[in-house]
Amino acid sequence: MDLTIESLQERLETQGYICDQDLVLTLYLSLKLAKPLLVEGAPGVGKTEVAKALAGALNTDLIRLQCYEGLDENRALYEWNYQRQLLKIEIARGTCEPSALEKDLFDMEYLLERPLLKAIRADKRVVLLIDEIDKTDPEFEAFLFELLSDFQVSIPELGTIKARQIPAVVLTSNGERELSDGLKRRCIYLYIDYPTVEKEARILQVKVPQARKELVYQVVQAVNFIRSQLNLKKKPSIAETLDWARALVAMHADALTPEIVGQTLNLILKNRDDQEMLKREIGLRGLVEKSLGTKGDEGTCCQCIHHHR
């Protein structure tokens, strides 16, 4: 596939992923240089969606390894199918030499592929998502070095297995801990921040086309104010902004009111202390007033939305 920066952006936007030029360029270079992409940012800014949209843009499969504390190579790379091996031993008992049986038992047909091995052995280029790598320990990071550098893995009983097709690798991190220099050296780095009002309005217009442009404007202004001006324990993610907009549409709301905000506040603030902070420091009516912004801001945002309708 002969991609250009422009065609890649078009393909991503057909998947409903609104992205700026810096993100597209970084993603394009990752593909062209065949280097893993490390995407860092706060929870909910769209890091995982990068991999999902890329798989759609390349018309290929997404293979996902969800990371967690204690993850090891048996869960990430492979396991032997012990039940089948035991059954083979029972069937072959007394009919073949032990050395020949042992060799036969450690063959690919008795291997259970986990996400990393599945991506390496895929017949076509896939997108491999290693999600929330910062939740694993440094030893697991080191285990990934061979895959990230040479696109191969080592299995003691079988030797080195090289990738049939080099996968497009996307790693995400919420920044819960500092990643090793060894991992960072093997990747192209991208930081994603919360979107601007204009960008989030475009996202809502694509994802929630039923919402009127005035309502979209109010929602993104309100969420932007909440994220930037309140010291919250958990800032609303883009997904929560979308949920709020969809709920307002379902309620046939044409605009935010203090009553509607109070009824739906649990969709954007999912922490009791954060909800109380908003009510105490700005109030429901105050948030509605902030969502209207200034006249100049409103004109700019509405023009942007109208342009992308």
Query: Could you write out the DSSP letters of every residue in 23-49?
Result: HHHHHHHHHHHT--EEEE-STTSSHHH
| 97 found inside a domain | no
Range of the structural domain that residue 258 is part of: 197-307
Domain boundary among 191, 223, 239: 191
Length of the chain measured in residues: 309
The answer to whether residues 206 and 261 belong to one domain is: yes
Q: Are residues 252 and 183 in the same domain?
A: no
Beta bridge partner(s), residue 80: 111
Contacts for 74 with CB less than 8 Å, ≥ 6 apart:
114
- 16 shares its domain with 118: yes
On whether the CB atoms of residues 50 and 17 are closer than 8 A, the answer is: yes
Is residue 105 a part of any domain in this protein? no
Cα distance between residue 285 and residue 257, in whole Å: 7
Same domain, 159 and 214: no
Identity at 54, one-letter amino acid code:
L
Asked if residue 130 and residue 53 are part of one domain, the reply reads yes
Measure the CA–CA gap between 258 and 282, rounded to whole angstroms.
12
Tell me, yes or no, whether 241 lies in a domain. yes
Tens place of pLDDT per residue across the chain (309 aa): 578 999 999 999 999 999 889 999 999 999 999 999 999 999 999 999 999 999 999 999 999 999 999 999 889 999 887 777 677 666 666 566 655 555 566 667 778 899 999 999 999 999 999 999 999 999 999 999 999 999 999 988 888 999 999 999 999 999 989 999 999 999 999 999 999 999 999 999 999 999 999 999 999 999 999 999 999 999 999 999 999 999 999 999 999 999 999 999 999 999 999 999 999 999 999 999 999 974 334 444 444 444 443
The confidence score (pLDDT) of residue 264 equals 97
User: Judging by DSSP bridges, how do beta strands 127-131 and 152-155 pair with one another?
Assistant: unpaired
The answer to whether residue 92 sits within a structural domain is: no
- pLDDT (0 to 100) of residue 92: 65
My answer on whether 277 and 181 are in the same domain is no
Same domain, 15 and 64: yes
- In DSSP notation, 218-271 reads HHHHHHHHHHHHS--SSPPPHHHHHHHHHHHHHTT-SS--HHHHHHHGGGT--S
Structural domain includes residue 145: yes
Q: Which residue has the tokens 């969420």?
A: 223
Do 149 and 227 reside in the same domain of the chain? no
Residue at 107 is within a domain: no
* One domain, residues 134 and 36: yes
Query: Can you give the CATH number for the domain in which 185 is found?
Result: 3.40.50.300
Both 53 and 151 in one domain: the answer is yes
Among 191, 217, 247, give the residue marking a domain's end.
191
Establish if 235 belongs to a structural domain: yes
Intra-chain end-to-end CA distance of the chain, in Å: 30
* 94: its two tokens: 């007394």
C-alpha 187/C-alpha 55 separation (Å) is 19
Cα distance between residue 181 and residue 208, in whole Å: 40
191, 215, 249: which is the final residue of a domain? 191
* Domain-located, residue 176: yes
pLDDT at res. 109 = 75
Domains: count for the chain = 2
Looking at the fold, whether 182 and 218 belong to one and the same domain comes out as no
Model pLDDT, residue 88:
66
Q: Is 3 exposed, middle or buried (0-12, 13-18, 19+ CB in 10 A)?
A: middle
Cα angle vertex 145, ends 142, 146, to 5°? Answer: 125
Query: Under a CB-based contact definition with an 8 Å cutoff, are residues 304 and 265 in contact?
Result: no
Q: 256 has which bridge partners?
A: none
Residues 172, 214, single domain; the answer is: no
For 45-158, list the strands marked E by DSSP.
Answer: 62-66, 78-80, 111-113, 127-131, 152-155
